[in-house]
A and B are shown apart, each in its own frame.
Chain A
Amino acid sequence: MKFTLSWLKSHLETDASLDAICAKLTAIGLEVEGVTDPAAIFKPFRVAHVLKADPHPNADKLRVCLVDTGEGEPLQVVCGAPNARAGMKGVFAPVGSTVPGIDLTLKAATIRGVASNGMLCSEREMGLSDEHNGIIDLPADAPLGAPFASVMGLDDPVIEIKLTPNRGDCLGVRGIARDLAAAGIGSLKPLTVVATTGMYDSPIKVRRDFPADAQDACALFVGRLIRGVKNGPSPAWLQRRLKSIGLRPISALVDVTNFFTYDLGRPLHVFDAAKVKGDIVARLARPGEKLLALDGREYTLDETMTVIADDNGPEGIGGVMGGEHSGCSEATTDVFVECAWFDPVRTAQTGRKLGIHSDARHRFERGVDPAFLHDGMELATRMILELCGGSASIVEVAGDEPDWSRRVAYRPSRLLGLVGFDLPVARQAELLRALGFGVSEADERLQIDVPSWRPDIDGEADIVEEVARLAGFDLIPATPLPVDRAVPLPAVNAAQRRARLARRGLAARGLVEAVTYSFIRRADAALFGGGKDDLQLVNPISADLDAMRPSILPGLLQAAKRNMDRGFGDVALFELGPQYADQTPEGQSLVASGIRRGMSGPRHWREKPRNVDAYDAKADAIAALAAAGAPVENLMVMDGAPDWYHPGRSGTLRLGPKVVLAHFGELHPRVLKTMDARGPLVGFEVFLDRIPAARAKSGRAKPALKLVEYPAVERDFAFLVDAGLAVDSLLKAVRGAEKALIARVSVFDVFAGNNIEPGKKSVAISVRLEPQDRTLTDAEIEAVGKKVVDAAAKACGAVLRA
């Protein structure tokens, strides 16, 4: 909502400064978004007196002027305007100033051999119009040296406020003035409404024709014919007012409607009565009816929309926009004025469906004062008669004023109770009355009658807000929250704690955390088990972001590609966030997912980089699980990773055969090809929600640690096994060979080829024995070794290599 200071002051009697007014507007909830002082760009330009205008010695069309700027010695200025003459008053732009219309900063110049110090300006050069036939010719009494902006009336500051949608009453300047007056900035000037007595019955009658369930679509319609008007340009004051807030003056009749829209928040419409056929009916549109609206576009209407129609069909869309056909023009002599009330919800829906954002819609959908139709009509009548002449008919009325009355029983103690500061009851009542509320005392409470222009008020809390905002939210104290324990309990639950630990754990492995969108391209989603209809956005912001992600991996893959395109081929990214299996809350799960791409590190003299591989992804997944507190010592590594992984270079991490805690592996080459990504590329997905809750313990104490003094022994074995054997099964067999003694089994070499027979591989393991109660003898160690070899042979067909 835009208005100027002088417009505001036409409703508000005040001496307050612009700054004080703006500060108060923001303080009472009418947030000032900006103040523009149109005079600012005109600041260097002042009224000057042309003392002499002699012909230029070297140019026929130029004159050499002597200009008195009101300051210092007169200056010599070369000017090409045909109307430059001695004795005239003009607008002088000094050297160093920027001429707004041509965006030129002036320098002292020599024009055809004659020095020129500044410029006498045309309207175009001032940016006021396209007029460039001569320089601005100011009246003779324009004070020498006075600021050009004030002489031209261009110094009225424009204030723009951001209104919250509940404050339709402030979409008229008068509503803003009322709020300011109530808040102590001056007083609201009275609004005098003088009714015009109709001289005759309007030949155009008004009817409402709505089904029972749509009676409120246009509850009240007030109309009047004014005959014999002369429509033309509106007077300068009205044009200036409209222009000051960016509206284009059109003609007196149209300008009047725009003026009241902004002045009083009262949209009006004017029909050229000569073009209206028959009576005017407010009704719902018939499906498929068309209207060419005032914006020059044709709209197809439906049965949910209100139209103002005549025998020709719709002439306007109720509360939204009038029609081109019956609009007023310079030729209009009889005008029919509409002042109606349209239902906010229906108006909003109509406007939205048709895509029309008009000043009328903006106001009707926020609620136009339902008790101001007759006064609005009278004020408009008076102005039309003043500007255009003519004679007015008796007012035509269809329908009734909608019931807007509301009474709130208000306990003044609620002020303290809700906002934490108090005001005397009398002061509260005074503030409310200043806003137009009726206040009467009843028992402990105040009976508050809500004014017709405040449909947003319907309870005690609303009344508290009105009182508090006028008194000032600065009065709200900063009160500490009550504390019930000095050291609070933890803020996060077990699941949140797991997630936080997994995040730090993955970052500590050198992975960089990314946050990518929850929606991805559908084709990508389909490659990762998603892309189903129920998770397609109906209205995505772009076609690349239209499917809820079934996995975090595709987003990370795209991110890796972007980084590769920027020349960063080694990528290690992870993300901890949601993925979606369906629309339900249970279908959303929290996943820690990551990818590595390229080499394990940069080329380096000491650590040779290698291609990242599935084992890196496995290590990342296990690290995330370990950090999150999963029992990683019990993890089983199994096949069964989903088909976006390389089937031979991937796996799952499980607790028992059924609970899959993670997938990891090299990404499937077909997925990479489809997504146009180049490997080596490995990834993992850790399902944090599936980690079982830690068993409830009676305390934090760790189990007792038994430290034994007997020496540990390590023995190495090299086995020949089938090339396809999962080494895990060999390790399991070896561990089980002598559980009481074998503390650790590790693999230190795996190889095939060379002198290993085809179809076999060599696996070298180290077995650590930790006796609990004695030092092992050579014979005992020998016996354990035999058990190891036997177990390996039995479980895996392993043969000890010579």
Chain B
Amino acid sequence: MTDIVAQAQASERAIAQAEKPEALEQARLDALGKKGWLSAALKELGGLEPEARKQRAAQLNEIKDRLSGALDAKRGALEDAAINARLAAEKQDMTLPLLDGAENLGRIHPIGQVIDEITEIFAAMGFTIAEGPDIEDDFHNFTALNIPPAHPARQMQDTFYLPPREDGEQMVLRTHTSPVQIRTMRSAQPPHRIVVPGRTYRSDYDMTHTPMFHQIEGLVIDRNIHMGHLKGVLVEFCKAFFETDKVKMRFRPSYFPFTEPSAEVDINCSREGGVLRVGEGDDWLEILGSGMVHRKVLEHCGVDPNEWQGFAWGMGIDRIAMLKYGIPDLRAFFDADLRWLKHYGFVPLDIPTLGQGVAR
């Protein structure tokens, strides 16, 4: 009897002292294995009297349960220790810097971004986008727009010319997006409601002029459209584009050969501290030229001016991009300086929509 108790105590000691899974397994085999002392003791039960056998069996089972429990607990503790040791060994320095993902490296040029913003806003007012060629003929760029042959705008110092063709026609780089008005009206019946973003060209170079720049033309032709609608459209546009309900707008009488009456449009701004802020203050800043489409222009397009009328405007995309995003020099737009593009450009996933706001 004492033999069993002593052996159980020895086994318990061996389990408690095991530091590795192998030692623990040895302790298990010594006690509970086929050749272990407990298994041997159990085999001896058959030789005992029934009463003594019952008593002896209970004692052995109690020892077996105790040892099994101790083994499980010790095994768990050893596994925990092992995994903790592994985790400690696997530690990495999470402060190491990583590379930017491509989606954060790429940029959309401010012109592309602003065209997308403008498109969103005019789409909501039922406009569609129209386009036309950069190399235009005299008819579309000048004549159809009621710009007579001797008009200063046709002269060399403003307009880029290509060599005359064999038929005598001399093509120009379009000086405005207005020829697309003509192309639109000559290719489809009214009503029309379009905006035309695109490249335009004039022979000029300084802080605010580059030989290539971008305009967005607007044209609405319908019955009973008047300058009030022009003002309505532009007010809504400026509110949405500059993200302020405070923007004030001023129409000033002006002159363009292709509109009558004509107006230049100013928005209010402040120039306090040399910083230009749109929609604040009492200063005015010209942003576009506009007017009611001249009846001669409609006639050139085969549109009956007694039935149809409407308005057009032309606005500098680069210019309003400069205003909105505080970009100082127009020339830098076309220099492809990576530092400039990274700074003033937009990440590709910043897609302007009216639903989430046209700008971030």
Residues of A that sit less than 8 Å from B by CB: 26-29, 31, 164-167, 344-345, 348-349, 352, 416-421, 456, 459, 461-462, 464-465, 468-469, 473-474, 476-485, 488-493, 496, 500, 503-519, 533-541, 545, 548, 556, 559, 562-563, 566, 568, 571-573, 576-578, 580, 583-585, 587-588, 601-602, 604-607
Q: Which residues of A contact B134 (CB under 8 A)?
A: 518, 578, 580, 588
Does B102 belong to the interface (CB within 8 Å)?
Answer: yes
The 8 closest A-B pairs by CB, nearest first: A420-B228, A29-B253, A164-B255, A559-B336, A491-B123, A465-B261, A510-B102, A507-B106
B162 at interface, CB cutoff 8 A: yes
B205 touches A541 (CB 8 A): yes
Given contacts A420-B227, A559-B336, contact A503 B112 (CB under 8 A): yes
Q: Give bound CA distance, A500 to B132, whole Å.
A: 17
Any A CB within 8 A of the CB of B285: no
B binding-site residues for A, Cβ under 8 Å: 96, 98-99, 102-103, 105-109, 111-112, 116, 119, 122-129, 131-135, 150, 152, 155-156, 160-163, 165, 171, 173, 193, 195, 199, 201, 203-205, 211-212, 220, 222, 224-229, 231-233, 235-236, 249-255, 260-264, 292, 294-295, 309, 333-339, 341-342, 345, 347-349, 351
CA distance A602 to B99 in the complex (A): 8
B-side contacts of A459, CB under 8 Å: 260, 295
Residues of A within 8 A of B102 (CB): 508-510
- Mind listing 24 A-B residue pairs with CB under 8 Å? A26-B252, A29-B253, A31-B254, A31-B264, A166-B255, A417-B224, A419-B228, A461-B292, A461-B295, A478-B235, A480-B229, A481-B232, A482-B222, A485-B126, A503-B112, A504-B348, A505-B348, A512-B338, A515-B336, A516-B336, A533-B163, A534-B162, A563-B336, A583-B165
With A491-B129, A508-B102 known to touch, is A536 a contact of B163 (CB < 8 Å)? Answer: yes
Given A165-B255, A477-B228, A515-B333, does the pair A493, B129 have CB atoms closer than 8 Å? Answer: yes
Interface hub of A480, A568, A573, A587 (most chain B Cβ within 10 A): A480
Asked whether, in the complex, the Cβ of B106 is within 8 Å of the Cβ of A510, the reply is yes
Instruction: Tell me which of B109, B156, B349 has the highest count of chain A C-beta atoms within 10 A of its own C-beta.
Output: B109
B212–A518 CB distance below 8 A: yes
A456 proximity list for chain B (CB < 8 A) = 255
Residues of chain B within 8 A of A535, CB atoms compared: 162
The chain B residue sitting closest to A416, CB to CB, is B226
Shortest Cβ distance from B262 into chain A, in angstroms? 7
- Given contacts A29-B252, A419-B261, is CB(A537)–CB(B160) below 8 Å? yes
Closest B residue, CB atoms, query A533: B163
Minimum CB distance partner of A491 in chain B: B123
A513 touching B227, Cβ below 8 Å: no
A639 smallest CB distance to B (angstroms): 29
- When the two chains form their complex, are residues B253 and A469 in contact, meaning their CB atoms are under 8 A apart? yes
Tell me, rounded to whole Å, the shortest Cβ–Cβ distance linking A514 to chain B: 4
Interface residue from B99, B116, B261 paired with A604 (Cβ < 8 Å) = B99
Q: In the complex, A563→B336 CA distance in Å?
A: 8
Given A417-B226, A493-B129, A539-B161 in contact, is the A29-B337 Cβ separation under 8 Å? no
Note all chain A residues with C-beta closer than 8 A to B126. Answer: 481, 483-485, 488-489
Q: A461-B295, A469-B253, A488-B126 are known contacts; what are 12 more A-B pairs with Cβ within 8 Å?
A: A27-B252, A31-B264, A164-B255, A420-B228, A461-B292, A496-B129, A505-B348, A510-B106, A512-B107, A512-B342, A513-B112, A563-B337
A510, A512, A516: the one within 8 Å of B334 (CB): A516
| A534-B96 Cα distance, complex, nearest whole Å | 57
* Residues of chain B with a CB closer than 8 A to A481's CB: 125-126, 193, 220, 225, 229, 232-233
Q: Distance (Å) between the CB of B146 and the closest chain A CB?
A: 11
Closest to A488 in B: B126
On chain A, the residues within 8 Å of B199 by CB distance are 518, 577-578
CB proximity of B307 to chain A, nearest CB, Å: 12
Indicate if the CB atoms of B125 and A461 lie closer than 8 Å: no
Report how far A798 CA is from B97 CA in the complex, Å: 46
Q: With A488-B125, A509-B106, A518-B134 given, is the CB distance from A539 to B152 under 8 Å?
A: no
Docked CA distance A462–B263 (Å): 13
B254 contacts A538, C-beta separation under 8 Å? no
Q: Are A465 and B253 in contact (CB under 8 A)?
A: yes
Give the residues in chain A near B309, CB-CB below 8 Å: 417-418
Q: Report the Cα distance A485→B112, complex, angstroms.
A: 28
Q: Closest residue to A546 on the B side, CB-wise?
A: B160
Of A481, A533, A566, most buried by chain B (CB within 10 Å of CB) is: A481
B107 touches A513 (CB 8 A): yes
Distance in Å: Cβ of A583 to nearest Cβ of chain B: 5
Contact between chains at A512 and B341 (CB < 8 Å): yes
Write the nearest CB–CB distance from A513 to chain B, whole angstroms: 4
Instruction: Please give, as numbers and ranges, the residues of chain A lying within 8 Å of B342 by CB-CB distance.
Output: 512
A455 to B151, alpha carbons, bound, how many Å?
A: 15
Please state if B227 and A348 are interface contacts (CB–CB under 8 Å). Answer: no
Assuming the contacts A461-B260, A484-B126, A601-B99, asked whether A476 and B251 have C-beta atoms less than 8 A apart, the reply is yes
Q: How far is the CA of A505 from the CA of B263 in the complex (A)?
A: 40
Report B-chain residues with C-beta under 8 Å of the C-beta of A536.
162-163
Are A511 and B106 in contact (CB-based, < 8 A)?
A: yes
- With a cutoff of 8 Å between Cβ atoms, the chain A residues found around residue B253 in the complex are 27-29, 465, 468-469, 473
Cα(A604)–Cα(B98), bound, Å: 8
* B106 in contact with A464 (CB, 8 Å): no
Also in contact, A513 and B333, with CB within 8 A (given A488-B126, A508-B102): no
Chain B proximity of A365: nearest CB distance (Å): 8
Contact B150 A348 (CB under 8 A): yes
Contacts of B205 in A (CB 8 A): 541
| CB-nearest residue of chain A to B162 | A583
Rounded to whole Å, the gap between the CB of B45 and the closest CB of chain A is 52
| Cα–Cα, bound, A351→B224 (Å) | 43
CA distance A507 to B160 in the complex (A): 32
| CB-nearest residue of chain B to A483 | B126
- CB nearest to B116 among chain A residues: A500
Q: How far is the CA of A677 from the CA of B309 in the complex (A)?
A: 55
Most buried by A among B195, B261, B294: B261
In contact, B261 and A513 (Cβ under 8 angstroms): no
B129:A479 contact, CB within 8 angstroms: no
Contact of B336 with A573 in the complex, beta carbons under 8 Å: yes
In the assembled complex, the CB of B71 is this many whole angstroms from the nearest CB of chain A, namely: 40
Complex alpha-carbon distance, A333 and B98, angstroms: 91
> Known contacts being A420-B226, A541-B205, is A508 close to B106, with CB within 8 Å?
yes
| Known contacts A164-B254, A517-B334, A538-B162, A479 near B261 by CB under 8 Å | no
Say yes or no: A490 contacts B123, CB within 8 Å: yes
Residue of chain B at shortest CB distance from A343: B150
In the assembled complex, the Cα of A468 lies from the Cα of B260 at a distance in Å of 11
Nearest Cβ on chain B to A783's Cβ, whole angstroms: 43
